[in-house]
Structure 1
């Protein structure tokens, strides 16, 4: 099995803050992306050459999708309080950990998204002629990930 690439459907997500750790179930996680940009600087008098230098890292938002639950979880309360301004001026951040497992449930890789906070909450389209389940999508910004 070591010669095969890992499957992308065995994963676990947990949120950590000062009060402890909460494991949350999602059907899809995307946005595990870091990118280093390039700044191009033209040198005066030399029109045939540009200096290319790296810019600081940029991170995309982490997007989590799941079927809507009938009971709100701690992550939903956190999002709702942040969006409604109930947290006051200071936004409470949490660390989000994503672990990828192999088929034997052994952790292969983990990513920790530091100082994450909710920036977007979307409920899928509700359509009486559709047989789809209602999906909620939560989007988080974060300081960095390792």
Structure 2
């Protein structure tokens, strides 16, 4: 007996990062694709005793955290240095999720982003792990687009 079309969830290992429409680099991890908000308690004088309303207040987004293996590409470090020297170089971008056929299926579009923190790798002469750096992007808005 048929139960309808199967709608499997997408896997979290096929993704890429674009900044200003250019695919910058492959990353091994992305986190911080959240939006949060505060609630304000409010009570009018004619509301029942001991009863408050919850009203939406300021919305805020978490910084996007990215991790990747180090390569000879220093573009992210140069962008970070420009920000640190006072250049207001804010860029729009997206984290793009792909299906198993490597076709785009969804995007988290962010705007006015800038690198707040870059962390170099932990190095160990007895290890065999890939040298990994992390990047923290501050941004001013996140929108999801799964195209419908």
Same fold (TM over 0.5): yes
Matched, 1:14 2:18: yes
TM-score by length of 1: 0.82
Structure 1 pair 101–2 and aligned structure 2 pair: CA distance change class (3 A): farther
- TM-score when normalising by structure 2: 0.81
CA contact (8 A) 1:43 1:49 kept: no
**Structure 1 CA distance for aligned equivalents of residues 45 and 123 of structure 2:** 58
Once the two structures are superposed, residues 85-139 of structure 1 have per-residue CA deviations (whole angstroms, 9 ceiling, x without a partner) of: 1xx3x42101121111111122110121100011111123333343332211100
**Structure with greater proportional strand content:** 1
Shift of 1:2: 5.2
Structure 1 unaligned residues grouped into runs of 5+: none
Equivalent-residue separation in structure 2 for 1:2 and 1:82 (angstroms):
47
Q: Distance in 2 between matches of 1:2 and 1:81?
A: 48
Per-residue CA deviation, residues 28-78 of structure 1 (Å, 9 max, x unaligned), is 111000012211235569651122111121100001100112x13322211
Q: Can you give the 5+ residue segments of structure 2 that lack an aligned partner in the other structure? A: 144-148
What CA distance in whole angstroms lies between the structure 2 residues aligned with 1:106 and 1:134?
Answer: 29
The residue aligned with 1:28 is 29
Aligned match for 1:115, one of 103, 112, 117: 112
CA RMSD of superposed structures (Å): 2.2
Equivalent position to 2:127, from 125, 130, 135: 130
Q: What's the secondary structure of 2:116's corresponding residue?
A: strand
